[in-house]
Structure 1
Amino acid sequence: MIKVALLSKWHVHAVDYANQAKEIEDVSIELVWDENEQRGEEWGKELGVAYEADLETVLSNPSIDGVIITTPTVDHKHIIIEAARHGKHIFTEKVLALTIEDCDDILSEVEKSGVELMISLPRLVEDYYLYAQKAIDNGWLGQLTMIRCRVAHNGAVATSENPEGWLPQHFYEQEKTGGGALIDLGAHPIYLANRLAGTPQAVTTRLQSVFHPGIDDQAAAFVEYDSGVLGVLETSFVSFGSPFQLEVYGTEGTLLIEQNTVRMKSIQFESDQWIYPEDLPAPLPMPMEQWVKAIKEGYEPTITKEDALKLTLVNQGAVKSQENEQRIDLSQLKQ
């Protein structure tokens, strides 16, 4: 049995991860810690486990095998490093950290300690991503030229039920989040495009504030890849009814994914009409399942440190692009 502590209910996915952990028979939630004492105590009562106010006490507890981290993003570096130093396996919400330098520090400590680290990038296990990867690998699209991906919702839009929107207001606190829509929701288009297109080379972004001055609640990033592919990546907290869209274009074909509908056209196929494939690959285990399998069985996770690094690289470049109002060569950030 893997005994875990939940570290903070700050992120909106904290409850989701707690539920996932409860559904895995090899995992037992033992403790809750939160930087907000009242929130932590209430969550502990909800889950029927103890609340511990001191993080060091949690991490030094020999009965705790791992931690699930959903703290403010700016706290990731310190908490993950301390967890690794105490020999705790780590499952963390995106993003790993705000800079490549911080990611390198984290990964160095994780490697030194020998613990399992998993960052939650759930769309990399979905059938539509796996099919897109298959289409590229099989050459059905010819030479890949462009990827467009959009993930958006209306979490920042006021309604009668939620006068300030349904996202918690602390999601707009720059000093805690490190950014707005792009760094959080925009992570999904970024890591999907990174996987399909390769190594990001440069980024140009527009981070726009609609309702929350000083932080983006919608954004667009143009990412250039070493492969020559151009990524057009969009996200928003202010779009009602916006479907998930992943579009993959090549010299010999086009793949369009909208919500659960997948269609493709290729000159390599017998028909010149759109096909709607029914034989999508089986989804891979969810990130938390992969984390548990890695701890117990030595399973090699399909979500890797390279995914985490490239995600942070694009996010860091995006912030710099907005600040300087120019295209950012990402190789400069690695130096």
Structure 2
Amino acid sequence: MGGRVIDGHWVEDGAAGDPRLHGGRFVRAASLFRDRIGAGTDLPPVAGRYHLYASWSCPWAHRALLVRHVKRLHDRVTVHPIDGPRVQGYPAADGRPVAVPGSDAQVVHLHQIYCLSDATYTGRSTVPMLWDAGRCRVVNNESADIIDMFDRGFGRPDTAIDDGPPPPDLCPAAHEAEIEALDARIHGALNNGVYLAGYARDQAAYEAAARGVFAMLDDLEARLQTRRFLIDNIPRRSDWRLFPTLFRFDAIYYGLFKCNLRPLAAYPALSGYLRDLYATPGIRQWCRLDRAVHGYYADPAVNPTGTIPIGLGSDLDTPHDRDHLGPRGDGPAMAAAAAMAGRHDAAILAG
């Protein structure tokens, strides 16, 4: 299943193993496409021009789907789900030939879309990936950039984009420094830390990463005992970056990635916080834990037998009991987001 593109051609990782492993330690490759959408740039925020390729299983793609929903970009950025049998990386449409927006090309694999953008591309074909149909090229494949563009690149964060209330500003100026610092800590220790543990082939590297994961969870548990969300009474960028990791924790990272000092259920504040975010109007529609489990457990690098577990973790519909920490400040905006998703993404959400 593992592989990459070299000079425009797919190459399996082969007997040499995963090139992301260095001395038994997992090293995440840098994203190679980093262009930005925004007013006054050569990538204006035009509705219908940009297309998000995302997998239900990938947490980095999941955060992009969530922020697209929260910011009500359903009629501006089209989603192309790409789950299916993992042959030559991600399939473009469940392994069936599919047209690429803005071109006459028919592709089967996501890496072929990368090569439409650059015929000599060398690298992995990852998600999320934002495609520009206007110029037939990849705009960006870095999730942090994509969610920031969704928050800011399609207009001022506090500006209404339809007839409903303005969507929440995910990184308000008053909290920007705090959000940036928190995002960096959570990314290093937890979002990426579970991978450092799960893919490690060195005992010391594994233990350091796994203990870092739980040190971060301990810090977050303490923080969330006195506040409803990480920053204030509205879920901000840090919350939606954290959610996909917590959502997968007990079903995937606890067992498969050996992050098993404690399940998330051992953290009352964190597990209640996860259920609180999950209860946000429309969010559960973008959460497919069964597909995430199948995606991870199909990876022979961590599960050589390919056996899929029968459990999917705790029930996220259990009451979160966090109203005592203060009322949410984004209720009307999230209700509008859920309604818009139903109008524009019905086929995707039904699939």
Task: State the TM-score bracket (shorter-chain normalisation).
Answer: under 0.3
Greater percentage in helix: 2
Greater percentage in strand: 1
With the length of structure 2 as denominator, give the TM-score of the two structures.
Answer: 0.26
